[in-house]
């Protein structure tokens, strides 16, 4: 009698890997595919297949919008195989996962900040990889969003006449995010705030 709690016999690594590819490409079952790829890693931990399966499980999780799982698989890949050709892609997947979770700028921007950090890592460590260009584009969008958040807070502080607080927020935009589309407005608001305080020199 075969008990379903009995551990399944080991399957060849290539068979599991190809089943994962089949689920991902033909069935569009990203979660199922990720499970197959993880099985390769579990049953054949030190094989070349395991290395390939780990990056594929990160990709499958990303495709299935399972961002936390993608981040942990990709982080594991970068830690275990920092010198491999796919390390740049793994690092990019971490950044892209945070990037895809960026909220509206009226909300907390923790994942936006994490996206910038992870994507800057791609540009710093793998400047010649094919992912560096895409990472730079995403960084610009994310930084624009962070600048938007500062502007949002600055405007609220200005409205409630907390001029010092407002000045600090607008200055952050001008100094830290000078390549974003919010700089012009930040300079305008700074002038407005200094005038409200009667500091004409600064204005």
- Structural domain includes residue 87: no
* Inter-residue contact 121 to 136 (CB < 8 Å): no
Number of domains in the chain: 1
- Structural domain includes residue 86: no
- Full residue range of the structural domain in which residue 37 is found: 8-66
**Dihedral sign computed on CA atoms, order 149, 155, 160, 162:** positive
Point out the least confidently predicted range of 10-14, 87-91, 162-166, 168-172: 10-14
- pLDDT tens digits, residue range 159-172? 999 999 999 999 99
Quick one: pLDDT band at residue 37, thresholds 50, 70, 90?
very high
**CA–CA separation, 95 and 20 (whole Å):** 24
pTM confidence score: 0.84
- Structural domain includes residue 154: no
Quick one: pLDDT band at residue 199, thresholds 50, 70, 90?
confident
- pLDDT tens digits, residue range 98-141? 999 998 877 889 999 999 999 999 999 999 999 999 999 999 99
- Structural domain includes residue 62: yes
- Structural domain includes residue 185: no
- Structural domain includes residue 56: yes
- Structural domain includes residue 20: yes
């Amino acid at each position: 009698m075969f008990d379903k709690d009995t551990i399944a016999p080991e399957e060849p690594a290539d068979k599991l890997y190809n089943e994962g590819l089949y689920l991902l490409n033909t069935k569009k079952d990203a979660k199922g595919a990720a499970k197959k790829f993880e099985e390769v890693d579990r049953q054949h931990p030190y094989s070349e297949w395991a290395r390939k399966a780990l990056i594929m499980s990160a990709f499958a999780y990303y495709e299935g919008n399972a961002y936390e799982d993608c981040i942990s698989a990709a982080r594991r890949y970068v830690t275990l195989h920092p010198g491999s050709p796919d390390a740049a892609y793994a690092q990019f997947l971490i950044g892209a996962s945070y990037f895809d979770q960026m909220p509206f700028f009226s909300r907390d921007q923790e994942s936006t900040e994490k996206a910038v950090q992870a994507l800057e890592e791609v540009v710093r460590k793998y400047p010649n990889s094919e992912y560096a260009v895409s990472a730079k584009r995403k960084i610009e969008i994310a930084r624009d969003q962070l600048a938007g958040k500062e502007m949002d807070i600055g405007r609220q502080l200005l409205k409630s006449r907390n001029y010092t607080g407002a000045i600090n927020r607008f200055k952050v935009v001008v100094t830290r995010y000078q390549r974003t589309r919010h700089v012009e407005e930040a300079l305008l608001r700074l002038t407005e705030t200094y005038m409200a305080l009667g500091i004409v020199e600064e204005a």
